[in-house]
A = this chain, B = another copy of it.
Amino acid sequence: MSLNETFRSLREAQVRLGLENREAKDNALRAVMAAIDADRTAVLKANTEDVEKARADGMKEALVDRLLLNDQRIDGIIEGIADVVRLEDPIGRVHAGWKTPNGLFIERVAVPIGVVAIIYESRPNVTADAFSLAYKAGCAILLRGSSAALSSNRALVKAIQKGLDQGCGISAAVSLADSGSRSEVDEILGARGSIDVALPRGGRELIRRVVENARVPVIETGEGNCHIFVDQSADEENALDIIENAKTQKPGACNAVETVLVHHSIAGRFIPRLGVRLAGRVELRCDTLSSGFLRQYSGLPPRLIFKDAVDQDWETEYLDYILAVKIVSSLDKAIDHINRYGTKHSEAILTNDLRAAEEFCRRVDAACVYTNASTRFTDGGQFGFGSELGISTQKIHARGPMGLEALTTIKYRISGAGQIR
């Protein structure tokens, strides 16, 4: 099928899917769960091909981990669809309704956004998450995964379509763009009228390319250069726990911390403790002051690797066991640094100072601002949205974890009795 034929087929499927009721959509999704379960061996085999190829191509292990599927992760994918089945149908909800002075009755009703394209990097679980959210929201979806995950995605989409066919669903509502060519992406991004919104989900380079080339509306997602600011009144032991968690629990995730900012008044004590805590697991990129504190400290474990940071470190999303460290002289300087280098994703302050917490949360411009918690919680599942379609880092339409609601738009229904103006 050519891409233009795919566009037409997705639109036709969406028009039908948009009118389906919840029961029909949920039944189809349940059949998809069963089909993925039944196709487990084929999916894992396809994934092994992708993983072996990726390792042979020298992919970093943190990224290989994003690509990897195993039985437990397939269970997670199926459970993710079950979560979506349990969610209320977002379509048809009347958000508001009122009468105007001249007697018009206006209702603001949720409707599907239409045909969605998602352009994403190497996580095959996104394939199922994005599909199931789109289907529940009455949207058709065009999946454009990375070539690194091509076999996995083909196997998954095959299972999904099989499930839709078995469950009286609309299998034409999902399609994998799998030519692997770059021009395919450009064609998708230029398809005004065919694609209602495109969601790039991945690193800076992917997002930049999408934004530069898109003629269709885009919601930027995913790039997370996240910070944790350790204020002078922070509980230091807890701060170490949070930083360790935010950096090492899943370093390939976009909500992992990339830079820690430390208030200068506690830095002489805190920085060496941080070095001790992360030694052997995380490489530090330190500004002059913090590397000075490390060099002065006699008790540093020999396994600790730290280097002098260069300017580029402040703007890098490592997605790896690397952490930039900088000492700031005040809350203001921390906020300035974050607003300058951050990607408006997730930013945290660790403090016991109420004024500082409020100031930080008010002035830091990001989708999610945290007080005394790990940035790793920026996630649709953690927020209670079921699965997620990505983390929006832009300001229009959706911000932060995007669940079902991000796939809806509204329509005004106006009922009159012959009114003229």
A98 touches B384 (CB 8 A): yes
* Chain B proximity mask over A273-317: 1 for CB below 8 Å, otherwise 0: 000000000000000000000000000000000000000000000
Contact B399 A397 (CB under 8 A): no
The digit string for A354-388, where 1 denotes a CB below 8 A from any CB of B, is 00010001110111111111101110001110000
Q: Which residues of A309-366 are within 8 A (CB) of B?
A: 357, 361-363, 365-366
Residue from the list B376, B396, B410 in contact with A409, Cβ < 8 A: B396
A168 within 8 A of B: no
Contact B416 A373, beta carbon cutoff 8 Å:
yes
* Measured CA separation A349–B155 after assembly (Å): 46
Judging by beta carbons under 8 Å apart, are A382 and B100 in contact? Answer: yes
A21 CB-CB contact with B under 8 Å: no
- Minimum CB distance partner of A373 in chain B: B416
Inter-subunit contact B215/A377 (CB<8 Å): no
Which of B235, B366, B395 sits near A113, CB closer than 8 Å? B395
Contact with B along A194-223 (1 / 0, CB 8 A): 001100000000000001100101110000
A370 to chain B, nearest CB (A): 5
Question: Do B215 and A218 have beta carbons less than 8 Å apart?
Answer: no
Q: How far, in angstroms, from A24 to B409 measured CA to CA in the complex?
A: 33
Whether the Cβ atoms of B245 and A377 lie closer than 8 Å is no
Query: Is B383 in contact with A100, judged by CB distance below 8 angstroms?
Result: yes
Q: Secondary structure at chain A's binding surface: helix, strand, loop or mixed?
A: mixed
The reply to whether the CB of A415 lies closer than 8 angstroms to some CB of chain B is yes
- Give the residues in chain B near A269, CB-CB below 8 Å: none
Residue in A219, A363, A412 whose Cβ sees the most chain B Cβ within 10 Å = A412
User: Chain B CB within 10 Å — which of A15, A241, A383 has the most?
Assistant: A383
Please measure, in the bound complex, the distance between the C-alpha atom of A397 and the C-alpha atom of B220, giving whole angstroms: 13
Q: B419–A373 contact, CB under 8 A?
A: yes
Task: List A residues 242-280 near B (Cβ within 8 Å).
Answer: 242, 244-246, 249
CB of A421 within 8 A of CB of B113, answer no
User: Known interface pairs A414-B373, A416-B371. Does A396 touch B219 (Cβ–Cβ under 8 Å)?
Assistant: yes
A367 and B412 contact, Cβ closer than 8 Å, known pairs A374-B420, A384-B98: yes
Bound CA span A60–B257, Å:
58
A3 is an interface residue with CB less than 8 A from chain B: no
Asked whether A421 lies within 8 Å of B219 as measured between CB atoms, the reply is: no
Residue A413, interface by CB 8 Å: yes
Q: Given the interface contacts A211-B215, A377-B421, A418-B242, does A197 sit within 8 Å of B396 by beta carbon?
A: yes
- Bound CA span A196–B181, Å: 31
Q: Are B397 and A397 in contact (CB under 8 A)?
A: yes
CB-defined contacts of A410 to chain B, threshold 8 Å: 399-400
CA distance A413 to B245 in the complex (A): 20
Judge whether A8 is part of the interface by a CB distance below 8 angstroms: no
Does A104 make an interface contact (CB < 8 A)? yes
Bound-state CA distance A43–B15 (Å) is 50
Q: Which residues of B contact A124 (CB under 8 A)?
A: none
Q: Which of A235, A374, A419 is most buried by chain B, counting CB atoms within 10 A of its CB?
A: A419
Report whether B241 and A377 are in contact in the complex, using a CB–CB cutoff of 8 Å. Answer: no
Residues of B close to A19: CB separation below 8 A: 362-363
A55 within 8 A of B: no
* Closest chain B CB from A104 CB (angstroms): 6
Is A147's CB within 8 Å of the partner chain B?
no
28 inter-chain pairs at a CB distance below 8 angstroms, sorted by A residue, are A19-B362, A100-B382, A113-B395, A196-B396, A197-B395, A197-B396, A217-B394, A217-B395, A217-B396, A245-B420, A245-B421, A246-B420, A249-B421, A368-B412, A369-B411, A370-B414, A371-B413, A372-B418, A373-B414, A373-B416, A373-B418, A373-B420, A376-B421, A377-B414, A377-B419, A395-B409, A396-B396, A400-B412
In the A-B complex, list the 9 residue pairs whose CB atoms are closest, starting with the nearest: A373-B416, A245-B420, A397-B397, A395-B409, A396-B397, A238-B418, A376-B421, A373-B419, A368-B412
